[in-house]
């Protein structure tokens, strides 16, 4: 990768290889070693900051999705309890709600992938350098992760909420 060449160790080994290969043509290789070290340290710090911010935002998004689904299941609490009172099993009650959550998760993942793909294409046209680090494997990994997370969060939150209302006493629903 191109990022490997902006490492002080890599630059030192590259300059040594050039000096050894072209002894007669190259007298001396000079590059600002302190600048390369400084840039590398700052890039590492910026990368860590972006990683921490991304993790925090992901946690906020997951909590928001979970709370939204719990609120939606709150509106179905009487339906869930009524089905339980007439003798429906847990799986019979939870199955349609979980299937709806699965469809909602797939739909939201599809919308996210379409929007993200458009953003990636636009960014690639505006900044051609991005295409050097972007690959089909990275895109597929990202899109697969979006599908898994979207469906997983939706199904897990829905199932957890349904079980919560199945375990509640009738008087606690009000």
Task: Read off the pTM.
Answer: 0.72
Structural domain of residue 71, as residue ranges?
61-173
Q: Tell me the C-alpha to C-alpha distance, in Å, between residue 29 and each of 11, 24, 32.
A: 10, 13, 10
Q: Is 49 part of a structural domain of the chain?
A: no
C-alpha torsion angle, residues 155, 158, 159, 161 (rounded to 10): 160
For residue range 86-124, list pLDDT tens digits in order.
Answer: 999 999 999 999 999 999 999 999 999 999 999 988 988
Q: Is 119 part of a structural domain of the chain?
A: yes
Using alpha carbons only, give the angle 63, 159, 171 rounded to the nearest 5 degrees. 95
Q: What pLDDT, on a 0 to 100 scale, did the predictor assign at position 130?
A: 77
Q: Is 165 part of a structural domain of the chain?
A: yes
For residue range 124-166, list pLDDT tens digits in order.
Answer: 889 887 777 777 788 899 999 999 999 999 999 999 999 998 8
């Amino acid at each position: 990768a191109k990022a490997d060449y902006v490492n002080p160790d890599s630059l030192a080994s590259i300059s040594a290889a050039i000096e050894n290969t072209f002894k007669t043509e190259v007298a001396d290789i000079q590059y600002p070693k302190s600048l390369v070290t400084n840039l590398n340290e700052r890039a590492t710090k910026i990368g860590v900051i972006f990683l921490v911010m991304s993790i925090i935002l992901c946690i906020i998004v997951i909590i928001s999705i979970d709370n939204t689904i719990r609120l939606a299941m709150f509106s179905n609490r009487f339906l869930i309890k009524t089905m339980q009172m007439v003798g429906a099993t847990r799986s019979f009650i939870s199955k349609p709600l979980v299937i709806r959550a699965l469809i909602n998760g797939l739909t939201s993942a599809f919308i996210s992938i379409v929007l993200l793909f458009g953003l990636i294409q636009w960014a690639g046209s505006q900044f051609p350098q991005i295409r050097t680090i972007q690959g089909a494997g990275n895109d597929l990994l990202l899109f697969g992760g979006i599908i898994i997370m979207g469906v997983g969060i939706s199904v897990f939150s829905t199932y957890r909420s349904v079980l919560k209302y199945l375990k509640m006493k009738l008087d606690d629903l009000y």
